[in-house]
Amino acid sequence: MTALRAQSLGKKYKRRWALTGCTLDVPAGHVTGLVGPNGAGKSTLLNLAAGMLRPTTGTIEVCGGVPGSGPAQLAKVGFVAQNTPVYAGLTVDEHLRLGAHLNPSWDDALARRRVAGLGLDTAQQAGKLSGGQRAQLALTLGIAKRPELLLLDEPVAALDPLARRDFLADLMETVAEHGLSVVLSSHLVSDLERVCDHLIVLVESQVRITGEVEGLLATHHRLSGSRRDLDTLPADQHVVSASHTDRQTTVLVRTEAPILDPGWTVGRLTLEDLVLAYMSNPTAARPALEVLR
Amino acid sequence: MIEFHLDGGSGLSPYQQLVRQVRHALRLGLLHEGDQLPKVKDVVAALAINPNTVLKAYRELEHDGLVAARPGVGTFVTATLGGGGSLAALGPLRQDLRRWLGKARRAGLDEESIEALFLSTFRSAAREDIA
Amino acid sequence: MTWLTWRQFRIPALAVYAALAAVGVVLAITGPDLVGRTEFTGDAESLYTGTMLAMYLLPAVLGVFWGVPMVTRELETGTHNLVWNQTVTRGRWLAVKLGTGALAAALAAGLLSLAVGWWASPIDTMASAQPENALWTRISPALFGARGIAPIGYAVFALVLGVAVGILLRRTVAAMAVTLVVFAAVQLLVPVLVRPYVLPATEEAVTITGENITRITGNQAGVIESIDVAEPSGAWVLTNETVDPSGAAVSPLPDAVQGCMPAPGEGLPDRQTVVGCLTQLSDLGYQQRLEYHRADDFWPLQWIETAFFLALSALLARFCFRRLRHLS
């Protein structure tokens, strides 16, 4: 079951390509992290998936349908945009009524329970809520319509660490309870490490690497040893990044096979190391590498 | 009911840490046969981690024959590690260890050297076991 | 969707309707005073001008304060990301909001026009009976847009225009300014470029006699440029010009009659003499041509104008729906 499938997806704004050659296959039932530097195209990809934007080239299919193509499709996808917009003049209660009026699949009991559990005052105007509370309200609106896929665009970027932890914990609890798929973008890798089991790295409008987190971590290694020419490496070891001193070479490789050369000291990478390596090495780009597990 | 925690600097992936913590608890007698492991939902709410991580850990423990999942109810401990016998063996082992520590200190090793010596010997022995 | 529309629209709507209610009260109180009067000066005159202003301003206000924010407010606060991701398509969202706004606008304009028309009817009747008050007849350009059902067309048009400009420009303040300018331009151009021609005007050839010359226009050099004859009362006169035997308009008047006016410095002209002198024109074969819309043409013109503006609104609405699909 695929939550999101993109084929050579591209989006151009006036002169600039915000996203190019994006080919992805995001499985359902997982929490997928979309990570990359600012301006890499994360928001564009999420907006395309939600149906807020139309592709310039290529195709995108979300939960088996074309994004934005009518009420049935809109009901399947929940979207919380950047800066978690809410109607400042409407109260929390009125936001829930908005959800109930505009969504046939609205689960009012769930929404009310969440709001009560979060300690939100239903008579409070949304404009007067704190950043964390607004994010939680926006998330409630996204979740209570019972979508198949939830898209979150940097939902915790503006939150303090405690609010951020609470938001993510609450999101994970919801995923555990309802089994929904989530695609969540962030430029903070540490958040994603705990929460995501699937990853997409987007740099300069292109997908650098994508796959299951455990698989990615198992197949990427940091090799350090005496200075050598990288052409001597076996063909099945793909170099992601490399640095040399006069005596030493350190190289980050992606390979399915075990490292047999005894001259290398093999180190394990954290997710952050892996992402940073792909983010800082545009030449390592090969679009849409799938690590099959 | 045990409580999980995650150590960011341990070098182990979250699911490995969870497995370890269950095994530890079993060894130390904090978990007995028939005890329920925390629900996935609660672990996830407390630690803000992916539910699949918890499920993977519980599945591995089940594969090792330590726990069993009862659909709709929860995951329960079915075996212990070591058992009562090993608890009894802990006492003499502890005494042996104290004696060795005394010897190491008398030989002039400071705390860090003792720790380094112990860990390197422990790790190379473990590697030999695997190889 | 209707709940949300009302929740967002209630304050702007109530503000306008409350103002209209206040105006209505004032008109209701002062109205009966006007019946039977033949002179309308002082308070009556200021109120009269005030009602005219209100009638012309109302559609503009609706376009700027109801129409523009309908879309720009959502875009500027980012709430379009919230509402367009509920299970309601953009088309339905706009249809309900635009439809509600248009109905409310039509109603507001209709009610105000009804009230003002009732209040001013003594003045209007009097004006239409007096040819010298041509400027203040209902059908004249000054008053036409402030009476009858045309304001309904203007109000709906202004509202849809506001929404369209909002979708195009996406910024509230800029869109408000542009809407105002475009609406004003349309209001100024339609009476000149469109309205005179939508119905055939009545044409009349009038013999120039001594009694029917009402105005003589000359320039500073003492040359008589044109004369006007008496116009039918309550009519909207498009042309009042002297034509030669072949039918071509002449201005200034032919040399033969230039001597009728005394040269500057020769003293004040005597009306009887000048007029008698000018009747030579008919001897020379000249006539006065009148082109006008009769007072009776008022309602047909009103229907056509309203239909015209409603058609424009429909076109603009179509533009709105199509453009909205590509907005982000």
pLDDT of residue A48: 93
Q: Residue A165 is nearest to which of B6, B48, B53, comparing CB atoms? A: B48
Q: Are residues C309 and C190 in the same domain?
A: yes
B/A touch flag: 3 or more CB pairs below 8 Å? yes
Q: Are residues C177 and C242 in the same domain?
A: no
- With a cut of 70, say whether residue A286 has pLDDT above it: no
Q: Are residues C217 and C260 in the same domain?
A: yes
AA letter at C170: R
Q: What percent of chain A has pLDDT over 70?
A: 96
pTM of the model: 0.83
Asked if residue B95 is part of any domain, the answer here is: yes
Q: Residue A79 is nearest to which of C7, C79, C85, comparing CB atoms? A: C85
Q: Are residues B21 and B70 in the same domain?
A: yes
User: CATH number, domain at B28?
Assistant: 1.10.10.10
Asked if residue B1 is part of any domain, the answer here is: no
pLDDT of residue C208: 82
Q: Are residues B67 and B19 in the same domain?
A: yes
Which residues form the domain of B103?
84-130
Asked if residue B8 is part of any domain, the answer here is: no
Residue B76 CB contacts under 8 Å (≥ 6 apart), including other chains: B34, B35, B36, B37, B67, B68, B69, B70
Contact (Cβ atoms closer than 8 angstroms) between residue C98 and residue C317: yes
> Which of the other chains make 3 or more beta carbon contacts under 8 angstroms with chain C?
A
Question: What angle do the packed helices C43-62 and C2-34 form, to 10 degrees?
Answer: 170
Q: Answer whether B45 sits within 8 Å of A169, measured CB to CB.
A: yes
- With a cut of 80, say whether residue A54 has pLDDT above it: yes
State the Rg of chain A over Cα.
21
Q: Are residues B88 and B73 in the same domain?
A: no
Residue A125 CB contacts under 8 Å (≥ 6 apart), including other chains: A88, A89, A90, A91
Residues of C in contact with A103 (CB under 8 A): 86-87
Q: Are residues B122 and B93 in the same domain?
A: yes
Q: Are residues B36 and B58 in the same domain?
A: yes
Residue B109 contacts A, CB cutoff 8 Å: no
Q: Are residues B33 and B67 in the same domain?
A: yes
**pLDDT averaged over chain C?**
88
pLDDT tens string B29-88: 888 888 899 999 999 999 989 999 899 999 999 998 888 888 888 888 888 776 555 556
> Which of the other chains make 3 or more beta carbon contacts under 8 angstroms with chain B?
A
Q: Are residues C215 and C156 in the same domain?
A: no
Q: What is the count of structural domains for chain B? A: 2
- With a cut of 90, say whether residue C304 has pLDDT above it: yes
Residues of A in contact with B10 (CB under 8 A): none
Q: Are residues C25 and C57 in the same domain?
A: yes
AA letter at A100: A
Q: Are residues C135 and C243 in the same domain?
A: no
Which residues form the domain of C87?
2-199+296-325
Helix residue ranges per DSSP H, chain A: 42-50, 71-76, 92-102, 108-117, 131-144, 161-178, 189-195, 213-219, 271-279
Q: Are residues B21 and B69 in the same domain?
A: yes
Q: Answer whether A172 sits within 8 Å of B40, measured CB to CB.
A: no
Q: Are residues B62 and B103 in the same domain?
A: no
Q: Are residues C237 and C302 in the same domain?
A: no
Question: What angle do the packed helices C68-77 and C172-189 form, to 10 degrees?
Answer: 160
pLDDT tens string C192-239: 999 989 988 888 888 888 778 888 787 777 777 788 888 888 888 888
